Amino acid sequence: MSVSCPLQEQSDDSSEEEAAGDTEMDFLRNLFSSTLGLGSADKVLDELTLEGVARYIQSGKCKNIICMVGAGISTSAGIPDFRSPGTGLYANLQKYNLPYPEAIFQIDYFKKHPEPFFALAKELYPGQFKPTVCHYFMKLLKDKGLLRRCYSQNIDTLERVAGLEGDDLIEAHGTFYTSHCVSFCCRKEYNLDWMKVKIFSDDIPRCDKCSSLVKPDIVFFGENLPVRFFTSMKMDFPRCDLLIVMGTSLQVQPFAGLVSRYCRSSFIFLKCTADPLFGLMGFGGGMDFDSDKAYRDVAHISTCDDGCLALADLLGWKVKLSHMIMRINSLVQ
């Protein structure tokens, strides 16, 4: 499937509540600091442009890059995002006779009426689409030893298809890669191939052990995010030298709060988007692209694929990226 999957914004898990509280405090602290001009602002770029970012990466000082990605990096693969007017997933769900569009990802509704979700899953199932330039660019960052982690809102598994592995990824909103029985007493695990057979034979997947529904491990409304999301961010973001944000409007919490979670003066934000307002307004917490005090954040206004190609070209990686795309795409069935 695709992109930015709906998630539960509130959680009963204590670690999630603690992380959410810390995120809010970090954001407020950084907002006051930047607004009042408090604290040190170490400028690591010689200019706030894509060229400046490329020179910083080439300097050898940038060793831990984190990518935050969402729906926008998969749209060029043919997977719709959720909210685009007219073309987004939510705008085209009338045929499923839902009480409201988001119900298709509501856990309580799913348990009573699983048919709409599995019909949609058949249309957008992983394996029918190939990774985009963005996915391969992140794989290239990994090959160069620069990628600390990719934090993804997407559930389409295209990061894995491009060559990122489990330790490289935080699939914040879950994934189709595995599935589990929904029964709390069972929770038997099933793999991607098992689920695919069920979906494409138009069978509602049920557990071989207890006959309960089996659901892909994507995060529905009413479910908690993976624990690994909360534990990893505490380790990763204090070490981050460069944060690349692509294909997400950073409006869904708690994913959006990662930007301000550990906001340090060495962060640079690269936003690849075709919407100039999105790039300049700085959604997601304290980004500053064009004020007199701007010293860190970079907005690159383009499609995500074009932004990655432009940065790869500046880094001298464009040929290698092209070869990688051709090689892996030839293996993707």
Annotated binding residues for Zn(2+): 181, 186, 207, 210
Catalytic residue among 135, 173, 180, 300: 173
Angstrom distance (rounded) from CA 275 to CA 272: 9
Strand-pairing partners, residue 246, are 69, 272
- CA-wise closest residue to 6 among 177, 223, 261, 304: 223
DSSP code string of 81-147? -SSSTTTSGGGG-GGG--SSGGGGGBHHHHHH--HHHHHHHHHT-TTSS---HHHHHHHHHHHTT-E
Alpha-carbon distance values, 173 to 20, 43, 121, 152 (Å): 16, 33, 16, 7
| 300 in catalytic set | no
- CA-wise closest residue to 222 among 107, 66, 94, 115: 107
R_g (Cα) of the chain, nearest Å: 20
Contact 116/139 with Cβ under 8 angstroms? no
Q: Which residue stretches of the chain are H helix?
A: 14-36, 50-58, 107-112, 115-123, 133-143, 158-162, 192-200, 227-236, 258-261, 276-281, 304-315, 318-331
Structure tokens belonging to residue 50? 């894509």
- CA-wise closest residue to 157 among 224, 84, 69: 69
The catalytic residue positions are 173
